[in-house]
Amino acid sequence: MTRTKIAEGALVLANGDIFEGDIIGAIPANGISSGEVVFNTVLSGYQEVITDPSYAGQILTFTYPHIGNYGTTPIDNESTKPATRGVIIRELARRPSNWRSEEGLPEMLARLGIAGIAGVDTRRLTRVLRDVGAMPGAFGTAPVSELLAAANKEPGTSGLNLVETVSTPKPYSFGTGKFRVVAYDFGIKTTILRCLGEIATVEVVPWSESATDVLGRKPDGVFLSNGPGDPEMVAGAPNTIRALVESGVPVFGICLGHQLLSLAMGGHTFKLPFGHHGGNHPVRNLRTRTVEITSQNHNYCVDADSLSSVADITHVNLNDQTNEGMKVRGTKAFSVQYHPEAGPGPHDSRYLFAEFAEMMKGS
């Protein structure tokens, strides 16, 4: 039987809204976990979402009401050291049931040091975040007054370089494909590495690796990974990426990698009110006029108009018409805002890895 509850607690947003619930997972230090509260609309794949490094600095709310019903397994982890500040759910499954399950969700959270709160009215919470925007919050067993104070002290994710907290400290290799790819780890997911590993032998390097060092590895292509936080705070990365693009090596970026490539080309980014987090976002491919259902996880977006002189927009989000992809003119560099590896999510967009392979083959 899964242990479902440690103690009664509460979630308090910076605007003073209070949500009661039961604390699960790890016991937060001083009875408080704080971070920027966001919501994700996936119907399944909660383990992959929780272990995505892109949630550094954030408390994750699941809008789907029933979480934990199929348990967890280490094979589905997207990182070895999850960075999320906490998990908020409506109803925790009392007993996981799946042949792959090796551990219940509360036990996994406790082992990874992640605090959670269950029994929260996540429908009401999501409506607040949708109408007001993502905001700091705090939850735990501490008194409400202390939780409110912690929420108001929480800086959120703007103005911080969260990438340096999740990137690998030293290079390592992954995969056995025929091409040679150097992948920047801004917070890379394991499913991305698996997709790249099918087409290339991947050398994963820290976020701050210089262009000279990367080119010295003689790659057939360079990959720019996903990652957390404000792209403008990843100091030095745009200049490094610009040098790589100018060298002529094929470059492919996903999510934060898309934003950093855009900054390298003189573009601008801005923060979305509550971000795009989920596995059901419709995106139109402007080249084929087809619609792809995509997996997304980002708070920042690229201003398409800021790229008009240097790049062609290739994909558009059909929910809000924001930029979802681009190709830099006269180069072998392209990127998408969403997650074609889809861990979790639909696989409509995995063709992009094949396009990257074709680009490397052509070069």
Catalytically annotated residues: 255, 339, 341
CA angle 172, 178, 179 (to 5 degrees): 65
Encode 205-259 in three state secondary structure: EECCCCHHHHHHCCCCEEEECCCCCCHHHCCCHHHHHHHHHHHCCCEEEECHHHH
Which tokens hold the place of 267? 């573009």
**Does residue 295 contact residue 278 with C-beta atoms inside 8 Å?**
yes
DSSP-based three-state secondary structure for 187: coil
How far apart, in whole angstroms, are the C-alpha atoms of residue 349 and residue 333? 17
How far is 116 from 122, CA to CA, in rounded Å?
A: 13
Number of alpha carbons in the 13 Å side-chain half-sphere of residue 41: 16
- Residue 127: what are its φ and ψ, rounded to 5°? -65, -40
How would you write 248-315 as a 3-class SS string?
Answer: CCCEEEECHHHHHHHHHCCCCEEEEEEEEEEEEEEEEECCCCEEEEEEEEEEEEECHHHHCCCEEEEE
Query: Do residues 297 and 339 lie in contact, with contact meaning Cβ atoms separated by under 8 Å?
Result: yes
Distance (Å, rounded) from C-alpha 11 to C-alpha 126?
13
Give the Å distances, CA to CA, from 91 to 4, 67, 71, 150, 280: 10, 6, 14, 25, 22
Whether the CB-CB separation of 292 and 351 falls below 8 Å is answered with no
